[in-house]
Amino acid sequence: MNIAILGGTGDIGEGLALRFAADTSHEVLIGSRDAEKAATKAAEYTAELDGRGIDAGVSGFENAAATDRADVVVLAVPPYHVGDTVEAVADALDDGDVLVSPATGMKRDDDGFHYHKPGAGSVTRIAADAAPEKVAVVGAFHNLAAARLANLDAELEIDTLVVGDDDDAKRTVVDVAEGIVGLRALDAGGLANAPEIEGLTPLLINVASNNSGMRDLGIRFT
Amino acid sequence: MNIAILGGTGDIGEGLALRFAADTSHEVLIGSRDAEKAATKAAEYTAELDGRGIDAGVSGFENAAATDRADVVVLAVPPYHVGDTVEAVADALDDGDVLVSPATGMKRDDDGFHYHKPGAGSVTRIAADAAPEKVAVVGAFHNLAAARLANLDAELEIDTLVVGDDDDAKRTVVDVAEGIVGLRALDAGGLANAPEIEGLTPLLINVASNNSGMRDLGIRFT
């Protein structure tokens, strides 16, 4: 399967790209608004993988070109760019492609981070509202610490939660997610259940910052 | 230490009462608006503990009488009764007593459960707003499955998150919580961080209801 990671030059995009490339046989396509930046980052990731003896090429494209080549498209962009990004690549999406939304909105005050719930209900919902009707949107990968993903020496043994209204698309994303070693994908129901998942990310940051020895936290349902 | 569990006749109250009685040397006081109901439930819990060879008496009182005897007072009542309950027991609270808020507001739709954020910001904040100034309010025990707590054969090995603006009170609650075997208490910062913790409870229910073999879920930060 071909996986495009739009915003794949950012932290969470890098982590997902490295893990997919290292642990699965999927083709990983880095997307960016700037094709040259995408190609440069893809070369960096390929070099890091090569240094670990992993023969997995990662390639870079402008977002729409990456989307055109992909079956699964991960929107690893800041929450306020999710809607625009979906619109910018809409023509490159084929019937049956799956859009994946991992972004969450946060704001910070003196106490820590808080979930900034968008008017639409969730960032995942913003992606769904912007997507062409033929393309299913699935929420996943919200609560993963970018630095932990990007450090291929770090064990995961954590969960990611998957929400969506299209069961086939959700199953595709569960399969793709569980290709990453140590990542368990759990079904959290319909897309309307996204806010509580997006709200978990600021909580993970707050817990890490208030307990010594805890950083890059993940979560396990048990 | 004396721990009052107001609403201790309900599901989560029962679970906390049994665990505190079984695992710690704290005195457990069941509170209810109805003193007789509290006494009946306390006798039931004592009988269950006795059947397991645990010599730990649990006693029952009307809410204010339980509060009067307690150092730590857990508000194990429905979210819409939290403010009223605090007001009803306010005169029985001593300087230095700690109020603990475990309740969360939820609403349900076709997709599952959702966090129903109160206008005040969180249920924990409602408790803090209603409490006398001399009494610190700490949020804790939000994300524990009542049936799992109440089944003393069930292993926990899960976390509870503790929030509050008074560090001493928070430390007291962390110590009390970690008296329960298999429960780790993590500091999640100030009281303003309560909404994300309260929002975790509907998520746990949604994950349990969408994945076969999962029930009475807890969470582990790792």
In chain A, domain spans: 2-210
Chain B within 8 Å of A195 (Cβ-Cβ)? yes
Residue B158: what pLDDT? 98
Chain A within 8 Å of B191 (Cβ-Cβ)? yes
Residues A197-208 as b/e (b if ≥16 CB within 10 A, e otherwise) read bbbbbbbbbbbb
Which chain B residue shows the shortest CA-CA distance from A216? B222
A86: number of Cβ within 10 Å: 26
Q: Which of A112, A158, A193 sits opposite B193 (nearest CB)?
A: A112
Chain B within 8 Å of A114 (Cβ-Cβ)? yes
Chain B within 8 Å of A105 (Cβ-Cβ)? no
Chain A within 8 Å of B196 (Cβ-Cβ)? yes
**Contact in structure between A60 and A38 (CB atoms under 8 Å):** yes
Residue A127: what pLDDT? 98
Rounded to two decimals, the pTM is 0.95
Measure in Å the smallest separation between the Cα of A170 and chain B Cα atoms: 12
Helix (H, G, I), strand (E, B) or coil at A186: strand
Instruction: Answer yes or no: is pLDDT of A57 > 90.
Output: no
Could B189 and A203 be called an inter-chain contact, meaning their C-beta atoms sit closer than 8 Å? no
Could A196 and B199 be called an inter-chain contact, meaning their C-beta atoms sit closer than 8 Å? yes
Helix (H, G, I), strand (E, B) or coil at B45: helix
Instruction: Give me the half-sphere count of Cα atoms (radius 13 Å) on the Cβ side of residue B38.
Output: 23
Sign of CA dihedral A89, A90, A92, A95: positive
pLDDT in tens, A159-218: 999 999 999 999 999 999 999 999 999 999 999 999 999 999 999 999 999 999 999 999
Instruction: Answer yes or no: is pLDDT of A77 > 90.
Output: yes
Mean pLDDT, range A143-164, rounded to an integer? 97
Phi, psi of B53 (to 5 degrees): 75, 20
> B210: which 2 tokens?
């969408």
**Spans in chain B with pLDDT lower than 70:** none
| Cα–Cα dist A204/A181, whole Å | 21
DSSP code, position B212:
T
| Residues with Cβ within 8 Å of residue A104, at least 6 apart in sequence | A79, A115, A123, A142, A198, A199, A201, A202
Which chain B residue shows the shortest CA-CA distance from A107? B193
| Cα–Cα dist A132/A198, whole Å | 23
Number of A–B residue contacts, CB under 8 Å = 126
The packing angle between helices B82-89 and B123-130, to 10°, is: 20
Q: Which of A190, A191, A203 sits opposite B188 (nearest CB)?
A: A203
Chain A environment of B202 (Cβ under 8 Å) = 196
In this prediction, what percent of chain A has a pLDDT beyond 90? 99
Instruction: Quote the CATH superfamily of domain A2-210.
Output: NAD(P)-binding Rossmann-like Domain (3.40.50.720)
In the block, residue with structure tokens 């208030």: A210
| Cα–Cα dist B157/A220, whole Å | 11
> A159: which 2 tokens?
């969960």
